[in-house]
Amino acid sequence: MTKFLTVNPESWLDDYGDMLYRYAVTRVRCEEVAEDLLQETLLVAIQSVAKFKGNSSVSSWLVGILKHKIIDYYRQSKREIPLLNDIDLNENLINHQFDEQGNWQISLNDWELPEQILENQEFWQVFHNCQSRLSDINSRLFILRVVDGISTEECRKLLGFKTDNQLWVTLSRIRMQIRHCLDVNWFNQEQK
């Protein structure tokens, strides 16, 4: 008998529900969709409990199921989201980031050590606020590619990008937007 089967599936919602919900809502940016994905995840887990070998923790297994549910959601909804084109590029953002010769105008020297930032809850609030300012497709791309490490090819298929280049250009713009937002709202807090 696997160690998983000794766990009571009836307690999963109490034990893991909040963590799974937060995971989903940061990726789909819609509370109702996150709730639906959480329910679907738990339903699939209950139906699949006999297949679980116990090689990972219950929470890791549930997150894995949820990841697949999120990817399925992206596949189903990609037709509803218009893709960006070159007009969407914010020239002011580009001008803020680079000088006339194409050199970065922003110094990274003022940034705290990454380890300190990652442990700071206030930073994460600012980060999530910056991410919430992105369009749906940009937020999805950022989460899938940068946070979850989904391959470029899979991201392209899930989100409907026609070429890898289109995806990479969009991802580059997203990173500049997030960097600019963090520069203004976190690293240079006196500019708020």
Condensed to tens digits (0 to 9), the pLDDT of residues 165-176 reads 888 888 988 988
Nearest to 21 by CA among 39, 7, 9: 39
- 160 and 71 in one domain? no
pLDDT, one tens digit per residue, over 83-102 is: 444 344 445 555 555 566 65
| 11 confidence band (pLDDT: 50, 70, 90) | confident
Q: Is residue 52 predicted with pLDDT exceeding 90?
A: no
- 140 and 74 in one domain? no
Across 54-58, 79-83, 153-157, the highest mean pLDDT is recorded for 153-157
- 74 and 12 in one domain? yes
- 181 and 110 in one domain? yes
Cite the DSSP H helix spans in the chain.
Answer: 12-28, 31-48, 58-77, 91-97, 114-118, 121-132, 136-141, 152-159, 164-182
Q: Residue 163 CA to chain centroid, in angstroms?
A: 21
pLDDT, one tens digit per residue, over 127-175 is: 888 888 888 888 889 989 988 888 999 999 888 888 888 888 889 889 8
- 95 and 177 in one domain? yes
Domains identified in the chain, total number? 2
Rg of the chain (C-alpha set): 20
CA distance 183 to 177: 10
CA distance 93 to 35: 35
- The full DSSP string for 1-26 is --GGGGS-GGGHHHHHHHHHHHHHHH
Q: What is the pTM of this model?
A: 0.57
Residue 11 sits in which domain range? 3-79
Q: Among residues 16, 45, 79, which one ends one of the domains? A: 79
- 176 and 106 in one domain? yes
- 32 and 99 in one domain? no
- 157 and 64 in one domain? no
- 107 and 70 in one domain? no
Residues contacting 187, CB < 8 A, separation 6+:
110, 111, 112
CA distance 185 to 12: 37
- 87 and 65 in one domain? no
Q: What is the dihedral of CA 84, 85, 88, 93, to 10 degrees?
A: 100
| 114 confidence band (pLDDT: 50, 70, 90) | low
Q: What is the dihedral of CA 141, 145, 150, 153, to 10 degrees?
A: 70
- 127 and 97 in one domain? yes
Q: Among residues 55, 79, 103, which one ends one of the domains? A: 79
Q: Among residues 79, 101, 128, which one ends one of the domains? A: 79
